[in-house]
Structure 1
């Protein structure tokens, strides 16, 4: 498990999310699917940054992103 490097925020663009579930399957401690099938962060600070980063990179519509709260810099997915 990789600890988060400083304050981070997980964001889900619910208008883009198509509910594949790949993110919640990859990082189940940090993400879940709501009854409408869209992703929802479960916590404000990631429990495992490595898994959450992988989940963001797996999202086919790039609806899941991870940002530094102090600068707003997007750290995942990496482009």
Structure 2
């Protein structure tokens, strides 16, 4: 197996783990959406999102921070969409 093939295999393994966690996150997001509707809360909480991203990226390099912020924004956008259903 070449070095590239080994790295791709590692990416595949990481993706499998991410997808399991992503599915779990979608289910929790659905439950949060139900609770927010029940208590007449807004789906979008900009202060919470800002705090989560800030805490997640505070010890990162600028390059890592840029990609992590993008990843988290996309993840949160998906969660808001699921909560709105």
TM-score, normalized by length of structure 1?
0.29
Structure number with larger C-alpha Rg: 2
More strand by share: 1
TM-score, normalized by length of structure 2?
0.27
1 or 2 for the larger relative contact order (CA 8 Å, sep ≥6)?
2
